[in-house]
Structure 1
Amino acid sequence: MHDGQRTRQRRWFDFVAFRRDVRAALVDATAALIVTLVVFVWLHWRIETGSSMTLQVMPMLADADTYWMYWMCEAFGWSGLLWAWITVMLGLIRSSRRLGWLPVSVARIEKWHRTTSLTTIALMFAHAFWLFAEFVRANEDQRGWGGRTWSAFVDTFVPGAYASGTGRVAILIGLLAFYLAIPLGLAFYARRSIGVRTWRVLHASILVVYVLSVWHTLLYGTNVWYDGWFRTTVWLLQLPVAALLLARLLAPARRPGRRGLDLLGRAVGRACAAASIVMVLAVAASGRDGGRTPGVDGAGLSATRTMVWIGLGVFIAAVVVCAYRAHRLTPTRQARAEGEEDDTSPS
């Protein structure tokens, strides 16, 4: 292989930086595992004491020892949502104008953002893996080892394959969040090849992944059938995300474009961020978020798989159009190569 070919391969994906961030994320991942184990013990205790309202949805889960893999799946789901919240907050802080009161440097926030992003993807995979393991265990009396493993794999990892209960939509939404998080999150390490402008578009769109993760957890997760403080607290945690997004749009770190589409995009983004703040406050005050309500028979699903697939298609089309436009506006290759080494802030 020629030296030029090896150089191009190295530049397509920055494996050196990726391995460095993976090593740096080990401490972060260790903390995430500790949090996951604490959540697992808490969930297990709630089942043992009969205080978990999940038992009203699926009373067969009352045997916590038999279904321990399901509760491990739930624990990784909660820690994954927490880490997703942390990395989104860090990303929004990083991409906003410098805040003088911050006790740490921008470079440190950027590093934390990258490592927590990698940890979040790993937690999402672990969440899905333990559900897969539970499906394998639960089907052990129905078919041979190969058959139940394949069936569990399809139900867990193939979008739209799971066909019963709220999982028809919940698992689909969760899988779409997981599969979108991988390319959109790792695009940072390919920014030299795809161009910084294009990378910014891809990285900004990862906010949709976070929205899908919250939707998957709060509205369709079987383990969130809580009333009172718990569900309200989780919703209130979305308030700083919406507020930071609004601040980010009002005061971006980089000078925004002044073309018609840029102005329209910022106006729409600001309106959506402001509406999100109002919605979170309204949900927290009323306690009504469209999720499960104890003692009330649930109505039909508020969203169908068809609606989710249509939404995914619209999202992908919008990202492709924006990425293509960003690519067309990218400066010459030489200018891009000179400017993108130190530019890691999405606009």
Structure 2
Amino acid sequence: MTSSPAHPASEPAGDRVETGGRRRPTLRSDLRAALPDGLIALVVTGAVFALIYVRIRAGTSSTLSVMPFMADTGKFWMYFLSQAFGWSALLWAWITVVLGLFLSGPRPSWPPLSGQRLERLHRTTSLNTIALIAAHALLFAAELFRSDSARWDSALVTAFVETFVPGGYVSGTGRIAIPIGQAALYLAIPLGLLFYVRHRIGPKTWRVLHRFVIAVYVLSVWHTLLYGTNVWYDGWFRTAVWLLQIPIAALLLLRLLRPARRSEELRGPRAHTGSPTGWGLRLGGRLAIAGVIVALIGVIVSGYDGGRTAPPEDTSSSHVEHD
């Protein structure tokens, strides 16, 4: 997902640094530009929280099948808010990846934005994705701390370890799902911020590292499907999550087939200027993404999406209120 410097006139002079006659965006200027997008993200998070809350109160949320004690909405509102931030983080990550693929592949006639404005929107949604993931994790930790009856210092350490230390969470599905979510967070922060120091590490190095942003998104989806109690069971909601992956895979395949940079085009083996191994890896990548699209369609059509068909026998959780 390549980037180009925004137009110099779009930023105050004090917020941009001169580089060879051109000015590059700074983290400070992009944080300011991210405020409107961040407010929209908060509104969406509030709407998701309201939906989760209403479904819990009505007894229609599958979360109650996993953790029936959470029917007490007044006590566990913080956990529901964490869930809401997690869903909005996933949505913003989806938007960020789509925008990045638009920038690095064939440019569509829509949305009606210039390349510079599209790139800036890509950066601001990326920053807000990091903030949303962090809020999701912090609220999860706060809920663990609140529900722990141990001394406050012991409860604080336990909440920190279970939320932020790989392997620290030892309950049920979370033993796998939580480290996956942690990996998404710990990759999102450096990969999202490397753009602002690319002049120090070199544009080629930055472009190579930036391609791993897709891994953050894949890990986020994996974490959601494994641990999101709203989508544990078979149903339209889980199917919708799988369905949303088809545009990502299709745009990624299109970006590989028609990259914005000519150096990334896949020419014939004889016309390829690099090593045969490099050509083979590029061809393999295109075939792999095509296979992913076929697999996604198969999952959606067949209904075999990894969802559970009945509540688990063991509904124990470290979220259980201690007496």
Of residues 3, 18, 36, the one that matches 2:45 is: 36
Task: Tell me the equivalent position of 1:264.
Answer: 280
Q: Kindly indicate whether residue 82 of structure 2 is the aligned counterpart of residue 79 of structure 1.
A: no
Aligned partner of 1:241 in structure 2 is: 248
Q: Aligned equivalents of 1:161 and 1:213: distance in 2?
A: 19
1:195 aligns with 2:202: yes
Task: Look up the SS of the partner of 1:227 in the other structure.
Answer: coil
Verify the 8 A CA contact 2:66 2:311 in the aligned structure 1.
no
Q: Does the 8 Å CA contact 2:233/2:307 hold for their aligned counterparts?
A: no
TM-score by length of 2: 0.84
SS of the residue corresponding to residue 64 of structure 1 reads coil
Q: Counterparts of 1:106 and 1:47 in 2: how far apart (Å)?
A: 43
One of 102, 106, 118 as aligned partner of 1:109: 118
RMSD: 2.0
* Contact 2:106/2:254 (<8 A) preserved: no
Q: So what's the TM-score if we normalise by structure 1?
A: 0.78
Task: Give the 3 Å change call, closer, same or farther, for CA 181–158 of structure 1 in structure 2.
Answer: same
Tell me the amino acid that sits aligned with residue 178 of structure 1: L
- Partners of 2:40 and 2:63 lie apart in 1 by 27
Alpha-carbon distance between aligned partners in 2 of 1:108 and 1:46, rounded to the nearest angstrom: 38
Alignment partner of 1:171 is 2:178: yes
Q: 1:272-302 deviations in whole A, cap 9, x for unaligned?
A: 211111111111112222232335769xxxx
1:49-68 mapped onto 2 (5 Å cutoff): 49-68=58-77
Which structure's residues are more often helix, by fraction?
1
Q: Structure 1 residue 121 and structure 2 residue 130: aligned?
A: yes
Distance 1:107 1:280, change over 3 A: same
Aligned with 1:89 (options 98, 116, 121): 98
Q: Which contiguous aligned blocks of 4+ residues in structure 1 show a shift greater than 4 angstroms?
A: 295-298
| CA drift at 1:52 | 0.6
Match of 2:5 in 1: none
Deviation per CA, 1:188-243, whole angstroms, max 9, x where unpaired? 11111111111011100111111000000013322312433211111111100000
Which ranges of structure 1 fall in alignment gaps of 5 or more residues?
1-9, 299-347
| Paired positions, count | 286
1: CA distance, partners of 2:121 / 2:287: 29
Once the two structures are aligned, what percentage of the paired residues are identical?
Answer: 56
Amino acid at match of 1:46: R
**Contact 2:48 / 2:84 at 8 angstroms: preserved in 1?**
yes
Taking a change above 3 Å as real, the CA distance of residues 186 and 219 of structure 1, as seen in their structure-2 partners, is same
More displaced, 219-228 or 155-164?
Answer: 219-228
The CA deviation string for residues 115-171 of structure 1, in whole angstroms up to 9 with x for no partner, is 0000000000000000000000110x2x21111011101111111111111010111
Contact 2:105-2:258 at 8 Å conserved across structures: yes
